[in-house]
Homo-oligomer: A and B are copies of this chain.
Amino acid sequence: MSALPEPPYYAVIFTSQRTHVDADYGGMADRMVALAAEQPGYIGVESARGDDGLGITVSYWRTPEDIAAWRRNAEHKIARDTGRSDWYQHYTLRVAKVERAYAWARTDGNKDPQS
């Protein structure tokens, strides 16, 4: 899972439904994670996709300007274009300001970490 810095920071919530077209989707997805990690303001990314093809990727960034700069990255733009031409049936993208965050792990015991 992603790092958990003190809020506020920003989340890009990308929810997508895959087509059955492969076209090196996995390779490009891995490449985008690696490339994002090199960008200024990058905090981390979490991603999951179920057998029904619905996936959620959340990337975390320091500021909206960091998100805008990543959006202007040329290789990222090509990946997004391929997403629309080949990989995705539909998607939604939301930019959200993280106001509160906490984590729990089994080693913390059973008590509610937020109470």
Of chain B, the residue at the smallest CB distance from A101 is: B94
In the bound complex, how far is the Cα of B46 from the Cα of A2, in angstroms? 19
Interface size for A (C-beta < 8 A) is 47
Q: How many copies, total? A: 2
Point out the residue from B2, B96, B104 that lies within 8 Å of A97, measured CB to CB: B96
| 9 additional contacts (CB under 8 A) given A84-B112, A95-B101, A96-B96 | A15-B46, A46-B54, A48-B50, A84-B104, A88-B106, A89-B106, A91-B103, A94-B100, A95-B100
| 26 cross-chain CB contacts under 8 A | A1-B15, A1-B54, A1-B90, A4-B92, A11-B94, A11-B96, A13-B13, A48-B49, A48-B50, A56-B58, A58-B58, A71-B114, A81-B110, A84-B106, A84-B110, A84-B111, A89-B106, A90-B103, A90-B104, A90-B105, A91-B103, A91-B104, A93-B101, A94-B101, A95-B101, A97-B99
